[in-house]
Structures are given as C-alpha cells and as structure tokens.
C-alpha cells in the first residue's frame, strides 16, 4: 500500500499547497491512502466544515486534528457528521467525534487511522499509550486492517519516539505532528513500523511556525501580547512523509520525506519515481 501523510496544514497558503499539489501526487504515485493533519487549517487555529470538505475534495482520505481541534467552535458539532475527521483518541470520555476510523482505500483495502495527543509540555489528557494500545488491540494489523497509521500530536521528541517504539510491529506508520518542523529521522523501526518524529507543516516557512513573524518576536522580546497571531501568507511548502507497506504484513518497507514548493529544499520519494 502506498501512503502519504501530510503535516499540519497552516492557514490559506497551506490549503492552497494541498489543493495545488495533492491531486498530481495521487495520480503520479498511485497513492492508496492520503492523511492530512488539518488542525491549523482555519486561519492557523482549528478547522471548519467547509475546509474539511475542501481537503477531502483535494484527495485526502482522512483528516486528523490535535490541540487546536475545537478552536473553531463549529467543529464540536460538525465532527459528528464527519466520519473521516479524527480527533485525539485520548481526549476525555464524552468528547464529540472519534479518535480512530477505519478507512476504505482506493484499491479496496482498509486502513485504520488513529490520532493521539501527547502529555509532555501539553494539556495532560488521558494516557496516550493506554489509549493507543486499546485501539491496536481492537483492530490488529493484518487481521482487521491492511495498514495502520498513527498521528501522534506532541511537543516532546522523546515522547514521540516512545510512542514509535511502543507501536513498533503493530502499526504501519507512526508520525509526529504539532511542532511544524520536519525532522530528518525517518526510518523503519526494528519491528517494521515506519517512523518520523515530525512531518513538518504545510505552510509558509518564512514565519515562526507558520505565523507572521512580528507578533511572536514582539512577545519573545517584551513578554507582552499586542495582537493576535496571523498565518504567514507566502508560498507554502507541502511537507509530508511517504510510506510503502508490504501487502502481506502491513508493515513498512520504504519511507521517505516529501517537500514540495516554498522555501524548503525539495524532497521526493525516489522509490515511486519511475
């Protein structure tokens, strides 16, 4: 199975990059499954129903969230009628929506997509390790799902790596989101799970993690907020990770970073080019 996971989409410029680039990637690389983290897609904070549909129309099969899941209040309502919108599974019982979804891929296979949020330097939600263990036990790789992708939305690299090894051999891919900076540690773990600490953001990198620089710099230098954060509006880099899995095991056989457009050096999965 060919899987593309696109890192945090930030604002209009990030959405434009997805709309411009994703259809061609799906066509040229014969992608089976595309997952997009959309928790910053509405002006940098949260997601709306219209934007959720826009990402699906561009080719996303599932949209994951994170700590900004409810910044747009309408998300609390429309998530109940959005079966492919996935919020962190370890949010408290009774939280609207779902933390995992079984997705039908383009070629008739089934993929489990799970979203979880970290607790280190973050709001201390329920234990992500226990929550992920329950989901992986309820829908085992090879038995109930042809592939399993875990989006772990966290601040600390150590916690992300811990989740990676915790899921090793039980998931096809564990990818980190939230820090908006792509890491260079993409690898296949000893048990066969693809791993990357952070897929990076799909947004304008002439910014402070996707936001116009002036207000973050003012707050860093004075400690005084004087305006709201606004997404940077320059050309975005689409940042993602590409994974190919073994149909027999569901585990990763190839992994590579993807970067297209904007300021960052381009990167493409050579194993899908020709």
So which residues are the catalytic ones? Answer: 68
Task: Give the whole-angstrom CA distance, residue 101 versus residue 144.
Answer: 12
154 alpha carbon, distance to own chain's centre: 11
Selection from 144, 143, 183, 139 nearest residue 164 by Cα: 183
132 alpha carbon, distance to own chain's centre: 16
35 alpha carbon, distance to own chain's centre: 7
Give Cα separations from 27 to 41, 56, 149, 205 (angstroms).
24, 15, 21, 27
Task: Give the whole-angstrom CA distance, residue 200 versus residue 158.
Answer: 17
**Is the Cα dihedral 102, 107, 109, 115 positive or negative?**
negative
Task: Give the whole-angstrom CA distance, residue 93 versus residue 143.
Answer: 27
Q: Put the strands of the sheet holding 33-37 in their side by side order.
A: 85-86, 62-64, 33-37, 2-6, 238-245, 252-260
Find the angle CA(120)-CA(126)-CA(127) to the nearest 5 degrees.
Answer: 65
């Amino acid at each position: 199975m060919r899987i593309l996971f696109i890192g945090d989409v930030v604002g209009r410029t990030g959405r434009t990059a997805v709309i411009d680039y994703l259809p061609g990637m799906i066509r040229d690389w014969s992608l089976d499954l595309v997952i997009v983290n959309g928790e910053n897609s509405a002006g940098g904070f949260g997601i709306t129903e219209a934007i959720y549909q826009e990402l699906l129309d561009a080719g996303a099969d599932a949209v994951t969230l994170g700590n900004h899941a409810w910044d747009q209040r309408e998300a609390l309502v429309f998530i109940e009628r959005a079966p492919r919108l996935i919020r962190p599974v370890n949010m408290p019982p009774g939280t609207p929506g779902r933390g995992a979804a079984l997705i039908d891929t383009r070629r008739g296979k089934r993929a489990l997509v799970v979203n979880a949020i970290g607790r280190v330097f973050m709001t201390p939600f329920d234990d992500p390790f226990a929550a992920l263990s329950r989901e992986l036990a309820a829908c085992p790789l090879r038995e109930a799902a042809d592939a399993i992708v875990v989006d772990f939305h966290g601040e600390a690299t150590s916690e992300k790596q811990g989740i990676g090894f915790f899921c090793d051999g039980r998931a096809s891919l564990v990818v980190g989101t939230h820090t908006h900076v792509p890491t260079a540690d993409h690898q296949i773990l000893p048990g066969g799970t693809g791993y990357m600490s952070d897929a990076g953001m799909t947004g304008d990198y002439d910014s402070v993690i996707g936001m116009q620089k002036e207000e973050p710099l003012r707050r860093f230098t004075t400690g005084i907020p004087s305006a709201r954060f606004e997404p940077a509006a320059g050309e975005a880099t689409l940042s993602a990770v590409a994974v190919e899995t073994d149909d027999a095991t569901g585990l990763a056989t190839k992994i590579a970073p993807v970067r297209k457009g904007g300021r960052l050096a381009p990167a493409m999965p050579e194993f899908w080019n020709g």
